[in-house]
A and B are shown apart, each in its own frame.
Chain A
Amino acid sequence: MKTAPWGTTRMEPFTATVPVPQFTPVIDPETQVAVFVDGHGRTVELGGHGTSTSGLTPTQTTPDGNPGSPTDADTTESYDQDQSNG
């Protein structure tokens, strides 16, 4: 008998995720800061920083504009598990 974990019945969507435009990050050789360049070769500023990026991919964002970083318990050593609150 296959039963889905009870916890998955508590899943709800993020309030809003919107695709972020594709920018190519280029690491500044001097400062090592990432500079983002759009399709026209112009430098752009990315938006804010979310509280958590778990479950989001780099091409999705929460409404405050934070690109998600990849997470995978089996393949990464530094996690992005912002905690549940309440």
Chain B
Amino acid sequence: MGDRSGSVLVLTNPLDVTTDAVLRVLAERRVPVVRLDPGSDLHSGASLTAAYRTGGQRGTLRTASREVALSSVRSVWVRRASPYEGPSELGGQERRFAASQTLWGAGGILASFPVAHYVNHPWANRAAEHKPAQLAAAQRSGFAVPDTVVTNSADEAREFVAAQAGGAVYKPLWNTPYAVDGRPHAVWVREVDPADITGAVSVCPHLFQAKVPKAFDVRVTAVGDRLFGLRIDSPDLDWRRRQDRIACTPIDVPEPVACAVAAYLGRLRLVYGAFDFAVTASGTWYFLECNPNGQWAWQPAGTTDAIAHAIADQLQKGRDT
């Protein structure tokens, strides 16, 4: 049933240069690719049609440079599609109507190909973005997990933070774009003083976590059963803040951690995942997070190139039969 010669559908915005690293590999291999940014292309000339009836479905996608039968799509790479915001020339509720119809209509069509291999399925990504779901899956997959509490009770928060002998940190449950005086801001991980906790914790849930006495950080990029480990040494608790200060070295992933990664991916139905670990001097790998659609092309060239090829392999092979 699966058409092995079918196209790879890539959902992303035109500025996503990471996508291009994989598309160049697929081009070398002469694997046909169709690129679509549904949130904007469908308002500017591209068309998407799906038809359903008893016992079957079919459809067609037409972009500026491609026409493909939806049944021939061998795999779908969900990267960095633009938000569904509706046609920019509309305003107010008309624009919101068009945006919602596109989200639920086009988003539904693109998530419902019967034989395609999704890297990752968009709804699996959505489920796996929830940090409580990550922690629940992590502890059931065999990872060491730092003591963590998610609460909107200031008393619970204060009690938890005060009880952590090695200190505690705060992490947002979602990164909301946030600007102060027009300048982009974010929460960078740093220690929490229990005395700083106020009743403002009750406004919404907050995540507090024991600070791991780490010797170094590790990013493990998982593509199917292929793992790419990278040790990250940073002068900062949160290595993302000053990336010009980090030192990266490839590192082997211990077998028990690799097994837990496989279990985690299976549990959350992911093909790809960017795992972050804090590793102690005694060699315990503490699971911090897994971003199901995490950026990977910032890593050293050898790692990036290997990941690009591994993703291309996944997209080329399509769904296992």
- Answer whether A and B are interacting partners: yes
Q: Which residues of A contact B (CB under 8 A)?
A: 3-15, 17, 25, 27, 29-34, 46-56, 58, 60, 62-64, 66-67, 69-73, 75-86
Q: Which residues of B contact A (CB under 8 A)?
A: 10-11, 13-20, 23-24, 26-27, 33-35, 39, 64-66, 78-85, 99, 103, 107, 111, 122-123, 125-126, 129, 154, 169-172, 174-180, 183-190, 196-201, 203-204, 206, 211, 217, 237-244, 274, 276, 278, 288-291, 293-298, 304
Contact status B201-A48, CB under 8 Å: no
The interface centre, meaning the residue of B196, B211, B243 with most chain A CB atoms within 10 A of its CB, is B243
What is the CB-to-nearest-CB distance from A81 to chain B, in angstroms, rounded to a whole number?
5
Contact status A84-B82, CB under 8 Å: no
Residues on B with C-beta less than 8 A from A30 are 27
Contact status A79-B297, CB under 8 Å: no
Contact status B125-A77, CB under 8 Å: yes
Contact status B203-A4, CB under 8 Å: yes
What is the CB-to-nearest-CB distance from B162 to chain A, in angstroms, rounded to a whole number?
16
Q: List 30 A-B contacts (CB under 8 A).
A: A4-B203, A7-B172, A7-B206, A10-B170, A10-B190, A25-B15, A29-B65, A32-B33, A32-B34, A32-B65, A33-B23, A51-B243, A54-B175, A54-B186, A55-B179, A55-B184, A55-B186, A69-B13, A69-B16, A73-B176, A78-B78, A78-B125, A79-B126, A81-B129, A83-B288, A84-B172, A84-B238, A85-B237, A85-B289, A86-B169
Contact status A55-B15, CB under 8 Å: no
What is the CB-to-nearest-CB distance from A24 to chain B, in angstroms, rounded to a whole number?
9
Chain A: interface secondary structure?
loop
Residues on B with C-beta less than 8 A from A52 are 175, 240, 295
Contact status B39-A76, CB under 8 Å: yes
Contact status A6-B203, CB under 8 Å: yes
The interface centre, meaning the residue of A3, A6, A11, A62 with most chain B CB atoms within 10 A of its CB, is A6
Chain B minimum-CB-distance residue to A73: B174
Contact status B178-A8, CB under 8 Å: yes
Q: Which of B99, B184, B296 is within 8 Å of A56, CB to CB?
A: B184
